[in-house]
Chain A
Amino acid sequence: MGYQQKLRGLVVSTGLLTTVLWGATLPAWATDYKQAPMLDEQVKAGKLPAVAERLPEHPYVETMIDGVGKYGGTLRTTILANGDQYNLTRTIANELLVRWDPKWQKVMPSLAEEFKASDDATTYTFKLRKGLKWSDGQPFNADDIMFWYEDVFMNSALSPAKNPTFTVAGKPVKVTKIDDLTVEFKFESPYGLFIQQLAYGQGHLPVIYPKHYLKQFHDKYNKDGIPALLKANPAAGDWVALFNSKVSLTFQPPFWQNLALPTLNPWVLTVPYADSERVVATRNPYYWKVDTAGNQLPYIDGITWAKLDDPQLMALKMTSGEFDFAFRHINNSTFKSVLFDGQQTGNYKFVDVKDLPANDAVILLNLNSTDPVKRKIFQNKDFRIALSQSINRQEIIDLVYVGQGAPAQVAVQPEHELFNEREAKQYTAFDPKASAAILDKIMPKKDAEGYRLDESGKRFTINFMVADVFGLSYPDVMQMVQKYAKEVGIDIQLRTTDRARLNTMWAANEQDAYIWNCVGGLSEVYTDPRCYMPFQKADIFFAMKWSEWYSNHATGEEPPENIKALMAAYDKVNAAVTDDDRRQKMKDFLNQSADNFLNIGISRPMPKYMMTSKNLKNVVNGIPITGNLWHPAPTLTQWYFDKPTK
Chain B
Amino acid sequence: MLRYILKRLVFAIPTLFAVSIIAFIIIQLPPGDYLTTLMADWASQGGAVEAGTVAAMRERYGLDQPIYYQYYKWIWGILTAGDFGISFELGKPVTELIWNRLGFSLLLSLLTLCFVWAIAIPIGILSAVRQYSISDYTATFLAFFFLAVPDFLMALSAMYVMSAWFGQSVGGLFSPDYVDAGWSFGKLVDFARHVWLPVVVIGLGSLAALVRIMRANLLDELSKPYVTTARAKGMSELELLIRYPVRLALNPLISTLGWILPAVISGEIIVSVVMSLPTTGPLLLRALLAQDMYLAGSLILLISVLTIIGTLISDILLALTDPRIRFQ
What residues make up the interface of A, taking CB atoms closer than 8 Å to B? 76, 81-83, 86, 89, 159-165, 200-202, 234-235, 240-241, 244-245, 250, 252-254, 257, 271, 274-278, 280, 304, 306-310, 312-313, 316-317, 319-320, 322, 345, 499-501, 503-504, 519, 524, 528, 537-539, 626-629
- Stretch among B202-210, B225-233, B271-279 lining the A interface: B271-279
Q: Is the CB of A250 within 8 A of B86?
A: no
Q: Is the CB of B93 within 8 A of A234?
A: yes
A411 to B288, CA, bound (A): 37
Chain A: CB-nearest residue to B32:
A500
Would you list which residues of chain B between 145 and 170 have a CB under 8 Å from chain A? Answer: 156, 159-160, 163-164, 167, 169-170
> What residues on A are CB-neighbors of B89 within 8 Å?
82-83, 252-253
The 10 A-B residue pairs with the shortest CB-CB distance in the complex, in nearest-first order: A161-B52, A628-B46, A627-B46, A538-B43, A160-B56, A161-B50, A82-B286, A500-B32, A309-B273, A308-B276
Other than A253-B91, A538-B47, give 20 A-B pairs with Cβ distance below 8 A. A82-B282, A83-B41, A83-B289, A83-B290, A202-B47, A234-B93, A257-B92, A304-B176, A306-B172, A310-B274, A310-B275, A313-B170, A313-B171, A317-B169, A320-B167, A500-B36, A500-B291, A504-B31, A628-B45, A628-B46
Instruction: Determine which of B32, B49, B55, B101 lies in contact with A160 in the assembled complex, contact meaning CB atoms within 8 Å.
Output: B55
> What residues on A are CB-neighbors of B37 within 8 Å?
500
B188 at the interface (CB under 8 A from A): no
Please, what's the 1-or-0 string for B252-277, where 1 marks a CB less than 8 Å from any CB in chain A?
A: 00000000000000000000111110
Please, what's the 1-or-0 string for B179-216, where 1 marks a CB less than 8 Å from any CB in chain A?
A: 11000000000000000000000000000000000000
> What residues on B are CB-neighbors of A504 within 8 Å?
31-32, 36
Q: Is the CB of A537 within 8 A of B48?
A: yes
A625 CB to nearest B CB, Å = 10
Q: Is the CB of B32 within 8 A of A276?
A: no
A309 to B44, CA, bound (A): 20
Q: Is the CB of A254 within 8 A of B91?
A: yes
A256 CB to nearest B CB, Å = 10
Q: Is the CB of B32 within 8 A of A313?
A: no
> What residues on A are CB-neighbors of B101 within 8 Å?
275
A162 to B101, CA, bound (A): 38
Q: Mind listing 24 A-B residue pairs with CB under 8 Å? A: A82-B286, A159-B53, A161-B50, A161-B51, A201-B45, A235-B91, A250-B47, A252-B38, A257-B90, A306-B171, A309-B276, A313-B275, A319-B164, A320-B163, A322-B169, A500-B31, A500-B32, A519-B46, A528-B46, A538-B39, A538-B49, A627-B44, A627-B45, A628-B46
> What residues on B are CB-neighbors of A306 within 8 Å?
171-172, 176
> What residues on B are CB-neighbors of A278 within 8 Å?
176, 179-180
A507 to B274, CA, bound (A): 35
Instruction: Determine which of A253, A316, A501, A538 lies in contact with B42 in the assembled complex, contact meaning CB atoms within 8 Å.
Output: A538
Q: Is the CB of A164 within 8 A of B50?
A: yes
A83 to B287, CA, bound (A): 10
Chain A: CB-nearest residue to B55:
A160
What residues make up the interface of B, taking CB atoms closer than 8 Å to A? 30-32, 36-53, 55-56, 60, 83, 86, 89-93, 97, 100-101, 156, 159-160, 163-164, 167, 169-174, 176, 179-180, 272-276, 278, 282-283, 286, 289-291
A332 CB to nearest B CB, Å = 14
Q: Is the CB of B55 within 8 A of A309?
A: no
Main secondary structure on A side of the interface with B: mixed
> What residues on A are CB-neighbors of B30 within 8 Å?
500-501
Q: Is the CB of A310 within 8 A of B276?
A: yes
Chain A: CB-nearest residue to B270:
A310
Contacts A310-B274, A317-B171, A320-B164 given; does A201 touch B48 at CB 8 Å: no
Instruction: Determine which of A162, A244, A280 lies in contact with B50 in the assembled complex, contact meaning CB atoms within 8 Å.
Output: A162
Q: Of residues A86, A201, A313, A316, which shows the largest number of chain B Cβ atoms within 10 Å of its Cβ?
A: A313
Q: Is the CB of B274 within 8 A of A160?
A: no
A240 to B282, CA, bound (A): 30
Chain A: CB-nearest residue to B272:
A309
Q: Is the CB of A313 within 8 A of B274?
A: yes
Q: Of residues A81, A537, A626, which shows the largest number of chain B Cβ atoms within 10 Å of its Cβ?
A: A81
> What residues on A are CB-neighbors of B36 within 8 Å?
500, 503-504
Q: Of residues A254, A306, A307, A500, which shows the largest number of chain B Cβ atoms within 10 Å of its Cβ?
A: A500
Q: Is the CB of A501 within 8 A of B32?
A: yes
A254 to B87, CA, bound (A): 11
Q: Of residues B38, B42, B47, B170, which shows the largest number of chain A Cβ atoms within 10 Å of its Cβ?
A: B47
Chain A: CB-nearest residue to B180:
A271
Q: Is the CB of B174 within 8 A of A503?
A: no
Q: Is the CB of B93 within 8 A of A235?
A: yes
> What residues on B are CB-neighbors of A538 within 8 Å?
39, 42-43, 47-49
A250 to B290, CA, bound (A): 16
A501 to B291, CA, bound (A): 13
A161 to B56, CA, bound (A): 8
Q: Is the CB of A86 within 8 A of B41?
A: yes
A164 to B50, CA, bound (A): 8
A417 to B156, CA, bound (A): 46
A317 to B170, CA, bound (A): 8
Instruction: Determine which of A235, A250, A277, A626 lies in contact with B172 in the assembled complex, contact meaning CB atoms within 8 Å.
Output: A277
Q: Is the CB of B282 within 8 A of A309?
A: yes
Chain B: CB-nearest residue to A158:
B56
> What residues on B are CB-neighbors of A76 within 8 Å?
176
A500 to B35, CA, bound (A): 10
Q: Is the CB of B47 within 8 A of A82?
A: no
Q: Is the CB of A276 within 8 A of B48?
A: no
A537 to B50, CA, bound (A): 9
Q: Is the CB of B179 within 8 A of A276?
A: yes
A468 CB to nearest B CB, Å = 14
Q: Is the CB of B180 within 8 A of A161?
A: no
A96 CB to nearest B CB, Å = 14
> What residues on A are CB-neighbors of B163 within 8 Å?
316-317, 319-320
> What residues on B are CB-neighbors of A89 within 8 Å?
45
> What residues on B are CB-neighbors of A271 within 8 Å?
180
Q: Is the CB of B46 within 8 A of A503?
A: no
B33 CB to nearest A CB, Å = 9
Instruction: Determine which of B50, B169, B180, B276 lies in contact with A81 in the assembled complex, contact meaning CB atoms within 8 Å.
Output: B276
> What residues on A are CB-neighbors of B273 within 8 Å?
309-310
> What residues on A are CB-neighbors of B44 within 8 Å?
539, 627
Chain B: CB-nearest residue to A157:
B56
Q: Is the CB of B276 within 8 A of A307?
A: yes
Q: Is the CB of B40 within 8 A of A503?
A: yes
> What residues on A are CB-neighbors of B289 within 8 Å?
83
Chain A: CB-nearest residue to B173:
A277
Instruction: Determine which of A313, A499, A519 lies in contact with B159 in the assembled complex, contact meaning CB atoms within 8 Å.
Output: A313
Q: Is the CB of A539 within 8 A of B43?
A: yes
